[in-house]
Structure 1
Amino acid sequence: MALTASQTLASFAVDYRDRHIPDHVLKHAKYCLIDTVAAATYGAEFPWSKAVIAYAERYGIGGTSTVLGTPSMRVHAPMAALANGALAHAFEMDSIREPSAGVHAGATIAPAAFAVGEECDADGLSVLKAFILGTEVASRIGVASHHSPEKIGFHAPGMTGPFGAAIAAGLLMGLDAEGLTHALGLAGSLTSGLMTFSKARHGSMVKRLHPGRAAESGVLAARLAASGFEGPESILDGKFGFLDAYCRDLPQEVSALTANLGEDWETLRTGLKRYACHANAQTATQSAFTLRKRHAFQPQDVDHILIEGHERLIGRHDNTEPLDIMQGQYSVPFCVALALSRDPNDPRSFSGQSVNDPKIRALSCKVRVATMPVKSVRHTRVTIRLLDGTVWVEDCEAYKGMPTNPVTLDDIEVKFKSLTRSLGDSHSDALFHQLITLEKQDRLLFA
């Protein structure tokens, strides 16, 4: 009998646990892990994160896994995965698959790999490979779904994340291919997360929870599978499986689930965000800041702004009057207004004070969002007209950090040092060194 997609993916992951993964893939994965630790450390500072940390401490104390940003706290692996996933996504600074497929590997898979890696006392290379192989699986599921779960109201990282997290956790637990297949089968029933936050007046902080729940679910699925709990082998491509359930009204691409395994590395498609806002706001924010620096005009000089891009901007990202910073980070008009008023490279510019700044709000209301033929979901064109009739246009297909416009090691280090400032220089420097040489480390050390 032919193998199902989950059986094929599980066999691939187990095979590559002991095989060489190309050096350039390992390098890109390390950049993503460094970026995730930085984002989670910075994310620990926010009230919504503190609530999750308190929950993890209440129900997880006594374990061996680190909650990032709180180096002295140790909790059991599921609670660490939950907390670190929520912290990594706490301020829209985590990585994302490019082109978009609804996969946030840094916030969903890395926390599971970190938590179980510490629990199992794994070496750095094993953790790095577990993250890569989890990313390979989750990304293919996202690609096969054509990002369609969000079309019917599900938040995609909460849907793809449990699968990748289950692979990463299961590999570190020593599961064989049959065990990983069961873990994937269980993960499919643990997918969760609704897009309601994008339309509600309040409660948008729930978005931060979805990646954490995905990471926790992956640990749960893997641990149950390790104890003999079984899950359906047809969870991805079978009747009532993931694609059938969540892609029922849209095209699906079953062949993409297992295409070119070990040859076409999805990990290399991980994009690292430059600004503390949604991925769909990155290029427009970059363009606005570029025009401001190039022409040295003032926000009060602006008559109106037109942002053209993918149809996804309409309805989801065109809110001109966000009520809080979470809505602001999801709003392209707000992010562009902020980039014309403050330094978007500093995540501290994105704040409640910015959302309530009358000048930024007034400028945001001058923004109109429209569709245009695009080369990718991120492609935007920003047109700024001044009161004196001057017009400037900036067309941007790839923000700095996308695989087609990659960051350098220096870029990674600058962002890491900025986001881990709370740890102190010596701790931050030591942690960066540990992570950039992860494949040579005998064990994970976050303290």
Structure 2
Amino acid sequence: MPSKSQALAEFGTSLAYNDIPETVRGQAVGAILDTVGVSIFGSTLPWSRIVIDYAVAYGSGGTSTILGTSHRVVAPFAALANGALGHAFEMDNLRQPSAGVHSGSTLGPALFAVGEEVEANGKDLITAFVAGCEIMSRIGDAAGNTAEKLGFHSPGLTGVFGSTVVAGRLLGLDAGQMAQAFGIAGSLCSGLLAFSKAGNGGTVKRLHTGRASEGGVLAARLAKGGFEGPDVILEGKFGFFDAFTREPRMEKLLAGLGSQWETSKICVKCYSCHVTAHTPVQALENLRAEHGFAAEDVAEIHIATSEKVLSHHNITRPSDIGTAQYSLPFCIATALYRDPKEPASFLDNPHEDPAIIDMAQRVHLTLNPASEPPGPAWATVLTVVLKDGRRLSIERSDFRGAPSNPMSAEELDAKFLTLSSDVVPDAPGLLRRLRGLEDIGNVRGLFG
């Protein structure tokens, strides 16, 4: 009887385009499109340029595009760079309910890096993305978010397996080779949350998804050449779950595989901040639209939220942009003084703005029992206390872009054009090509 790792490897290599429901294929295309737009915008940021320069210095001469630029480098360096670009400003898509899975910024970079290298077609890319998403999401779901309680940044762990599936399919691995690639990938997992307690160094978080994407390309390529890893990497002693998680739910790994589609659980971000801030920010916007108060009218804000937010995101004095984006008090304070839908609101050093700093100290977090399992993890009660004594409250459990409240195709296209139009010469043309991805005969011509 095959191990769970081997069963996932079999699924990862055998899934066919026509096995995937049309609606799921459409959701995959939307997530891929979203990732490209976010990565193009990410290429303009100063910390991203450092990674781009590194990739060009050591990886030039390849066929894989660094998004938002004219550079082509070898596939592993393209995966590294584009993974960092995709997560460069907290706009990349992820799974809901949360499982430590960022589909776009871990799968997309490997998808295009290897896809361009082997001249894959659009249907190959869509199928590889779905296969990677289904396996990676199940690994994350089985982990139950416990890796982050131990100090690991989960997308840097789960993402290596997802990108291994993507790269492995495009490189033509069989099920046995894919199982070996998983065994290699397990030793490439990385990413620590030390910045969340240090209050600084948040820039390193951008790198975690890049390393995950790069690791998948490395694992798949080595396995194709005959390199080996343990074939019980997920469930074995000292394997992934034993080392990185606590009390994993191993039954989640194969549950509904091929019939219940994790790709349908991808949610798209509408704000440039950590996803745990999205529901509170949406609630604040709703409350302000209804009552018309200004930032200067607010005495304090109380937010009942999840245990994860209390333990990881209650950062009151961040010293860099990345850590500020990870902080719920700072995201709320920024949204109160600036337009949260505008990425520049979070780019223009909110952690140095005296008014935002002062307001962040007046954002008070408590546990919302409704967010405890089996309730919705993003369940939020937000109360604004005005200086005139009024208390205004609202409850929300999702935001625009979540699977329960999805963006329309028009909204997703508008996000893409907003992020990319000032960076690439023909953003509408690229958007059309991405919308027609299934008809692309050779992905190497996708980016011009």
TM-score greater than 0.5 by the shorter chain: yes
Q: Distance in 2 between matches of 1:348 and 1:35?
A: 18
Q: Distance in 2 between matches of 1:418 and 1:400?
A: 17
Which of these residues, 331, 352, 355, is aligned with residue 327 of structure 2? 331
- Is 1:103 matched with 2:101? yes
Is residue 17–residue 126 contact of structure 2 (8 Å, CA) maintained in 1? Answer: no
> Could you tell me which residue of structure 2 aligns to residue 85 of structure 1?
83
Q: Distance in 2 between matches of 1:294 and 1:346?
A: 21
> Could you tell me which residue of structure 2 aligns to residue 76 of structure 1?
74
The CA deviation at 1:352 is: 3.6
Q: Distance in 2 between matches of 1:4 and 1:291?
A: 51
Q: Distance in 2 between matches of 1:88 and 1:350?
A: 16
Q: Distance in 1 between matches of 2:359 and 2:101?
A: 32
Identity of aligned residues (%): 47
Partner amino acid for 1:431? L
Partner amino acid for 2:351? V
Partner amino acid for 1:416? F
Q: Distance in 2 between matches of 1:10 and 1:267?
A: 18
| Cα displacement string for residues 204-257 of structure 1 (whole angstroms, at most 9, x for unaligned residues) | 11100000000000000000011011111100111111111122xx32111111
SS at match of 1:159: helix
Q: How many residues align?
A: 442
SS at match of 1:205: helix
- Is 1:342 matched with 2:338? yes
Partner amino acid for 1:427? D
> Could you tell me which residue of structure 2 aligns to residue 446 of structure 1?
447
| Cα displacement string for residues 60-103 of structure 1 (whole angstroms, at most 9, x for unaligned residues) | 10000000010x21000000000000000000000111101000
Instruction: Give matches, 1:175-324, under 5 Å.
Output: 175-247=173-245, 250-324=246-320
> Could you tell me which residue of structure 2 aligns to residue 434 of structure 1?
433
Moved over 4 A (4+): none
| Cα displacement string for residues 265-319 of structure 1 (whole angstroms, at most 9, x for unaligned residues) | 1111111111000010100011112212221111111111101111111131112
Q: Distance in 1 between matches of 2:263 and 2:276?
A: 20
Q: Distance in 2 between matches of 1:355 and 1:12?
A: 46
- Is 1:35 matched with 2:31? no
Q: Distance in 2 between matches of 1:203 and 1:341?
A: 25
- TM-score, normalised to structure 2, is 0.97
Q: Distance in 2 between matches of 1:363 and 1:197?
A: 22
Is residue 98–residue 403 contact of structure 1 (8 Å, CA) maintained in 2? Answer: yes
Q: Distance in 1 between matches of 2:169 and 2:7?
A: 15
- TM-score, normalised to structure 1, is 0.97
Instruction: Give matches, 1:332-411, under 5 Å.
Output: 332-373=328-369, 374=371, 375-411=375-411
> Could you tell me which residue of structure 2 aligns to residue 163 of structure 1?
161
Structure 2: stretches of 5+ with no match in the other structure:
none
Q: Identify if the C-alpha distance between structure 1 residues 430 and 18 changes in structure 2 by more than 3 Å, giving closer, same or farther.
A: closer
> Could you tell me which residue of structure 1 aligns to residue 13 of structure 2?
14
Structure 1: stretches of 5+ with no match in the other structure:
none
Q: Distance in 2 between matches of 1:327 and 1:53?
A: 22
The CA deviation at 1:148 is: 1.1
The CA deviation at 1:202 is: 2.8
Q: Distance in 2 between matches of 1:122 and 1:428?
A: 22
The CA deviation at 1:18 is: 5.5
Partner amino acid for 1:34? L
The CA deviation at 1:422 is: 2.2
Is residue 333–residue 360 contact of structure 2 (8 Å, CA) maintained in 1? Answer: yes
SS at match of 1:7: helix
